[in-house]
Amino acid sequence: MEKVRFGMIGLGNQGSQYAVNFFDKELIDNGVLTAVCDINPAKIQAIKEKIRPDGIEFYDDYKKMLDSGKIDAALVEVPHYFHPEIVTECLKRDIHVICEKPAGVYTRQVREMNEAAGKSRALFTMMFNQRTNSLYQKMREIIASGGIGKLQRFTWIVTNWYRTQSYYESGGWRATWAGEGGGVLINQCPHQLDLLQWVLGAMPVSVRAVCEYGKWHDIEVEDDVTAFLRFESGATGVFITTTGETPGTNRFEVSGTGGKLLCENDCIKYYKNRCDSIEFSLTSDKGFATPGCDLVLDEPRGANPQHLGIINNFANAVLGLEPLFIDGREGIRGVELMNAIELSGWKSGAEVTLPVDEEEYLDYLNRFRAVSRFDPSAEDRVEDTSGTFEGAKI
C-alpha cells in the first residue's frame, strides 16, 4: 500500500481534533483518513463542515466501516468502556489499531483485548503521547542505567488538570461510573499512570489511596486522589492529582541512593551523588556530612511530537518503515494502577496488592454502575480544547 488508510471511530474531542488538525492538514506522512464513524448524526454533520470530505466515507456503525474494505487501520476514540471491545473487533479482522488512552476501564476487559492482540497479525498501539516527551524518555534512560542508584522514592504532584463543572456536563457519559468508569484517574491521569511505571521501570506491589468523590464538582466519581505506592524493592512513592485546583502543579521527583531526578516546568534536572548515599552513611565518621552531588543535567524539553508522533510512527510501522514505538498491550499497566488506586479508595484506604483481583474490582464497579446517574440519552457536545491541555504538558 502507498499510504495507510485510516478510519476514525468516534468524533468526540479527540477524534475530531485528529481529523481536523492532523489528517485534514496532511500532517500524517504515510496516512490518510478514508472513513469516519459516529453513532451521532450531528457529529458526522459537524465534521463534514470542518474537513474536506472528498474521499472519505461516513458511517454510523463501526463494524460496517471495519468490513468495508476502505480502511487498513482504525483510531478508536470512543468512551473508555468501549475501547477493548472495538479494538478487539479490529484485531480480529487484522485491522491495525490505535487505541485512545486508557486501554479500558477494568483489567479483565483489557486482558481479554490483549489476548486478541496476541492472536492478531495487525499492529496495536496505545495513544500514550506523553511517552514521546524527551524529558520522560531521559528520566527513564537514567533510571534504567542505574544513574540514580537504588530507587528510594518518587513524588508526583499532578494537580494541573483543572476542569470546570461545564466540562463535566459536556457529555452525559463523563464522570459517571456507568458512562466513564471513574474520574480524574481514568480520564486525565492515564498518561501519568502509564509514565509512572514506564519511567520507573517497575509496577508497585501495593497501593493505599484516599479518593474523594465529587469533592470539587457535582459529579459522582473521584476528582481528588492521594495514593501511596510501594515497590518490591522497598521504594515508595506518592501520587497526587485533582481536577479541582488551579494554578496546578506538575512536578515529578524521583530519588535514589545515587542521586535525584526532577521533572518540572518543562525541564529536567539530574543531581548525581559523588558516591552511593547508603554506602557513604555506613562508612563516614561524620554525623552531618553528605556524599556531595553535582547537577549533571539541567535542560529544557527537546522533541515532543505527542499525538502526531504516535500516529506517524504507527503508520510508518504498518508500512514496515520503522519499529512500533509502543506495544498496545502495555496499556494494561496503567489500567491496573488505576484500578488498584480506585479499589483502595473504595475500601477506605485499605492496602490493595497488585495485580488487582479483577473479579473483586468488577464487583465493586458494578455496584456503583447500578446506581450511577449516567444518562445515555444526553446529548454530548464537542469542546474547543485547543491550547488548553495544560495537564498534558510537564
Q: Considering beta carbons, is residue 379 or 390 the nearer one to a second copy? A: 390
Distances (CA, A) of 217 to 169, 220, 223, 242, 369: 10, 9, 8, 11, 19
Smallest gap from Cβ 143 to a second copy, in A, equals 15
Calpha distance 55→15 (Å, rounded): 18
228 touches a second copy (CB under 8 A):
yes
Smallest gap from Cβ 264 to a second copy, in A, equals 10
Judged by DSSP in three states, 24 sits in coil
Instruction: Say which residue the cell 488548553 belongs to.
Output: 388
State the chain's maximal CA–CA distance in angstroms: 77
State the pairing for strand pair 267-273/259-264.
antiparallel
Where residue 259 falls (left for φ over 0; alpha for ψ -120 to 50; beta otherwise) is left
Which region, judged by CB under 8 A, interacts with a second copy, from 23-31, 54-62, 186-194, 384-392? 384-392
Exposed e or buried b per residue across 273-290, where buried means at least 16 C-beta atoms within 10 angstroms of its C-beta: beebbeebeeeeeeeeee
Q: Considering beta carbons, is residue 251 or 369 the nearer one to a second copy? A: 251
Q: Considering beta carbons, is residue 84 or 291 the nearer one to a second copy? A: 291
The DSSP call for residue 21 is: I
User: What strand order describes the sheet that includes 4-9?
Assistant: 57-59, 31-37, 4-9, 73-76, 96-99, 124-126
Residue from the set 280, 325, 360, 369 that interacts with a second copy by CB under 8 A = 280
Smallest gap from Cβ 88 to a second copy, in A, equals 31
Residue from the set 41, 94, 146, 164 that interacts with a second copy by CB under 8 A = 164
Q: Considering beta carbons, is residue 112 or 276 the nearer one to a second copy? A: 276
182 touches a second copy (CB under 8 A):
no
Q: Considering beta carbons, is residue 69 or 387 the nearer one to a second copy? A: 387
Q: Provide the 10 A C-beta neighbour count for residue 119.
A: 9
* Residue ranges in 235-274 that form contacts with a second copy under rule CB under 8 A: 236, 238, 240, 242, 244-247, 249, 253, 255, 259-260, 271, 273
| Count of positions on this chain that bind a second copy (CB under 8 A) | 60
* Residue ranges in 336-355 that form contacts with a second copy under rule CB under 8 A: 349, 351
Residue from the set 281, 298, 299, 379 that interacts with a second copy by CB under 8 A = 281
Q: Considering beta carbons, is residue 5 or 307 the nearer one to a second copy? A: 307
